[in-house]
Chain A
């Protein structure tokens, strides 16, 4: 038992291993606990995809091309309802807008990199990869030129787990989808992401405004309810910010 613990703690790389390889491995190691949480999420997506009538290739296609679980899960009911291409694309766009925000806060760390590196790392920009790396990068715990390798290690570990869990879910699909209410994983994943996003009064106001608006807007066609509620939420956040600033003056 002791030996196992020691092995896990120390980085057992040959002395000749490059700093790049060491950073890559460190990135993979850091994300392991998060992968455990990613598994049921990927299983649920695969199983729900199979239940919605998608073939294994179609389910895997979604995981490879979109590579953003929450948006993939949210797109499934639209696909099985025969929604138009525009509605699916627009819904995915709204749900993934937050990735743009992550990009904004990650940008200074990737600034010196050539564009193809930026492209490669951008593909791996997910909630999990962002959350696992940004604090380290901002605190200077990982420095250039190791950041790219650390982030790539994190991203590749997430990617591999996501594809494997998707496929397992597709094949177990019929066995695990009925009666287990696995579709409930979708709101649970969003709850786990939403709560940490509510950091203060202004983000709280954004969430509250969006939540209330979503209840009333849910019956709007073409999934416009989500877009409308998200807009109301952003306005709510901006309004609270203005109010708070005025009170200070």
Chain B
């Protein structure tokens, strides 16, 4: 990616992000939001965040790998349990990384 393309992408992404942040804060109370949009927005966080996570865990080097041998999948599942039980971001990061390093060390010694 050339320097120009990079900055175009970053400025574009920045402008879009700011517009998303400001849009409803500026508009609500002045304009009616269509009820269907309001209902749909409720499911955006759960849907988007899961759609980002799952491929990162189940694909290894571009190939689908749903097995116990997939260290990232196992560490990710463990991190999900930690997130569910504690809601503590620091524990999720620490526990997930520790799990991955441990699994990688075991994998190498086998």
User: Which residue of the partner chain, among B39, B46, B76, B104, contacts A191 with CB atoms under 8 Å?
Assistant: B76
- B76 near A107 with CB under 8 A, answer no
Residues from chain A with Cβ under 8 Å of B76 in the complex: 187-188, 191
Interface of A, secondary structure class, is helix
A234-B16 Cα distance, complex, nearest whole Å: 21
Instruction: Name the residue of chain B whose CB is nearest to the CB of A41.
Output: B93
- A215 near B48 with CB under 8 A, answer no
A202 at the interface (CB under 8 A from B): yes
A85-B28 Cα distance, complex, nearest whole Å: 30
Q: Mark A23-36, 1 if CB is under 8 A from B, else 0.
A: 00000000001101
A73-B25 Cα distance, complex, nearest whole Å: 26
Residues from chain B with Cβ under 8 Å of A36 in the complex: 90
Q: Mark A114-134, 1 if CB is under 8 A from B, else 0.
A: 010011011101000000000
Q: Mark A89-104, 1 if CB is under 8 A from B, else 0.
A: 1001111111111111
- A237 near B46 with CB under 8 A, answer yes
A229-B56 Cα distance, complex, nearest whole Å: 14
- B50 near A122 with CB under 8 A, answer no
**Would A203 and B13 be within 8 Å (CB), given that A188-B97, A238-B40 are in contact?**
no
A125-B20 Cα distance, complex, nearest whole Å: 10
User: Which residue of the partner chain, among A68, A95, A188, A234, contacts B93 with CB atoms under 8 Å?
Assistant: A188
User: Which residue of the partner chain, among B7, B14, B28, B53, contacts A107 with CB atoms under 8 Å?
Assistant: B28
User: Which residue of the partner chain, among B40, B58, B83, contacts A234 with CB atoms under 8 Å?
Assistant: B40
Residues from chain B with Cβ under 8 Å of A197 in the complex: 45-46, 49
Instruction: Name the residue of chain A whose CB is nearest to the CB of B22.
Output: A122
- A123 near B97 with CB under 8 A, answer no
- B17 near A92 with CB under 8 A, answer yes
- A213 near B20 with CB under 8 A, answer no
- B16 near A65 with CB under 8 A, answer no
- A100 near B43 with CB under 8 A, answer no
- A196 near B87 with CB under 8 A, answer yes
Q: How far is the CB of B91 from chain A (nearest CB, A)?
A: 9
Residues from chain B with Cβ under 8 Å of A185 in the complex: 93, 97
User: Which residue of the partner chain, among B17, B27, B90, B93, contacts A66 with CB atoms under 8 Å?
Assistant: B17
Residues from chain A with Cβ under 8 Å of B5 in the complex: 84-85
B106 at the interface (CB under 8 A from A): no
Q: Mark B34-58, 1 if CB is under 8 A from A, else 0.
A: 0000111111111111111111111
Residues from chain A with Cβ under 8 Å of B8 in the complex: 85
A108 at the interface (CB under 8 A from B): yes
User: Which residue of the partner chain, among B47, B58, B84, B90, contacts A236 with CB atoms under 8 Å?
Assistant: B47
Instruction: Name the residue of chain B whose CB is nearest to the CB of A179.
Output: B104
User: Which residue of the partner chain, among A96, A107, A206, contacts B47 with CB atoms under 8 Å?
Assistant: A206
A104-B23 Cα distance, complex, nearest whole Å: 9
Q: How far is the CB of B57 from chain A (nearest CB, A)?
A: 6
Ordered by A's residue number, 28 sampled pairs between the chains whose C-beta atoms are within 8 Å are A34-B89, A36-B90, A65-B11, A66-B13, A80-B1, A85-B5, A88-B10, A89-B9, A92-B16, A98-B44, A99-B17, A100-B23, A100-B41, A104-B33, A107-B29, A181-B97, A181-B100, A185-B97, A186-B56, A191-B79, A192-B93, A195-B84, A207-B46, A214-B51, A226-B48, A233-B46, A233-B50, A237-B40
Additional A-B contacts beyond A210-B47, A210-B50, A233-B50 (10; CB < 8 A): A61-B10, A96-B16, A104-B41, A185-B97, A187-B56, A195-B84, A204-B46, A207-B50, A225-B51, A226-B48
